[in-house]
Chain A
Amino acid sequence: MIPLQHYLIVAAALFSIGFAIAVTKRHFIGMLLGIELMLNAVNINLIAFSQYDPEKLGGQLFALFVIVVAAAEVTVALAIILRVYGHYKTVDPDQVSDLQK
């Protein structure tokens, strides 16, 4: 039986790395990769706590809804990124600073 703290430490490391990726990448899709990693780290936390609740499995159900919301978020974000790329011809978030060109 793995101690609960080890799951939490792995999840904290993945969350911090995902946050650093979302801050440092100068590419919209690179930022999206970091956000996906952060959502996965949160799911590890929920599932690690859920193993102490085998009758109701509230954490696993919450993780399931997080996966659904992440899938919806990625599709809409990619569609918006394609529109922004078609309009500005760049994927650098620093260069997309004006609303109307």
Chain B
Amino acid sequence: MIEATAFYGFSILAIASALFILFSKNLIYAAFALFFSFLGVAALYVLAGADFLAVTQIMVYVGGVLVLLIFGIMLTQKANRNEDSSAHNRVDVLIKRGAWGFVLGGGLFVFLLKIILSSDFKMAGETNNSKSTIRTIGVELMTSHLLPFEIAAVLLLVALIGAAYLAINRNPAQ
């Protein structure tokens, strides 16, 4: 009962925050709504028995990605001092583009809903959500998933160097 209440509550939190991002005109408000959406998704991870993934989600997305996105929003502002304060971070949505977005998004949702409701999954394994998943994830990462783990490490290094190069070297022509 408590589990169902928490599940539906956090689902509504995540979806309502996502809808707020969709309809918000102010990008800073959208970024803060994304924070609540990430928190709701992390709570869904906990309810699905993935405790380590929930903490990783909060640390990586809320602690890293969202701060980066907010800095990106603030660094790409136009400095128009004479306008009113509510006009900053304003994102205009063309009518045609908005119509296409709603048609494509709604159509995709109806399509996925039809597939999910018509599917019939036969689950083979037993569900045991009582114990922590950290030991299993650590052992699997160091044994059978060692190559993807190393590739992910190299990818992070490449992304770090590439992002630093792109952001620092502002004008390579000079």
A10 touches B76 (CB 8 A): no
A52 touches B125 (CB 8 A): yes
Majority secondary structure, B binding face: helix
Name the distance in Å between A77's Cβ and chain B's nearest Cβ. Answer: 9
Interface membership of A97, Cβ < 8 A: no
Give which listed residue, B41, B105, B127, contacts A51 with CB less than 8 A.
Answer: B127
Count A-side interface residues using an 8 Å CB cutoff.
Answer: 70
With most chain B CB atoms within 10 A of its CB, the pick from A7, A72, A83, A85 is A72
Count B-side interface residues using an 8 Å CB cutoff.
Answer: 85
B140 touches A68 (CB 8 A): no
Determine the residue in chain A with the shortest Cβ distance to B66.
A36
Chain B residues near A12: list those with CB within 8 A.
Answer: 109, 112-113, 116
1/0 per residue B79-109: CB within 8 Å of A? Answer: 0000000000001111001101110111011
Give which listed residue, A7, A15, A54, A57, contacts B112 with CB less than 8 A.
Answer: A15
Interface membership of A96, Cβ < 8 A: no
Majority secondary structure, A binding face: helix
Q: Measuring CB to CB, which residues of chain B are less than 8 angstroms from any residue of chain A?
A: 3-4, 7, 11, 14-15, 18-19, 21-22, 27, 30-31, 34, 37-38, 41, 44-45, 47-50, 52-53, 56-57, 60-61, 64-65, 68-69, 71-73, 75-76, 78, 91-94, 97-98, 100-102, 104-106, 108-109, 112-113, 116-117, 119, 121, 123-129, 133, 136-137, 140-141, 145, 148, 152, 155-156, 158-160, 162-164, 166-167, 170
